[in-house]
Amino acid sequence: MTSNSAETRRRVRQIAKILEELYPQPRTALRYDTPVQLLVAVILSAQCTDARVNQVTPALFARFPDAQTLANAPRDELEELIKSTGFFRMKAKHIQECCRALVAKYHGELPRTMEELTALPGVGRKTANVVLGDLFRTPGITVDTHVKRLSRRLGLTTHTDPTKIEHDLMAVVPRDRWIDFSHQLILHGRQVCTARRPRCESCPLRPWCPQIGVQTA
């Protein structure tokens, strides 16, 4: 558990300020035209890059543009369209089960609460937070692999469980910064604080970062 002290909050304010300067008005890199398409794209992004998902979704959504068509799609055709995103059989299963639930319970539309979204097959808190934040600006912190890595390196959590990391960050990051803060950490994790070769020497966050777990050798 991270320390919810005045010092930690002060450090987070400095980190948030720098991230805001580096990545103003951040949003998900996933491309979509409708709320359901964003949900499907986020499901596809598990263990896959957003760039790869964006290569797959144009053909996918041209063929199956909404919850109804995705729910009724031939499974083998759906799997073939998303195959390059990895774990395609499980993803196809989740997408179809999720879309069938959307059609049955919500007339093919997306619900707007964490509880309703996470009750859908294949939808966890990370997926729900992306959808709620980007579509409806509902405050929440998305914990993906980048946020998990950076929040530990920055000394903002000692946990590895995404839900516990989410709650640790919620305790020290101002509520009105939750959405952007997690998006900015993701961008910083891709561009600077990478997993294997973080560019610590040129990182603007360095004065406020204890670099926990960074390999210097």
Kindly list the catalytic residues.
126, 144
Q: What is the CA radius of gyration of the chain?
A: 18
Contact 4, 171 (CB under 8 A): yes
Residue type, 73: A
- Half-sphere exposure in the Cβ direction for 178 (13 Å, CA): 23
Long-range contacts of 162-166 (CB under 8 A, 24+ apart): 162/125, 162/126, 163/125, 164/1, 166/125, 166/129, 166/141
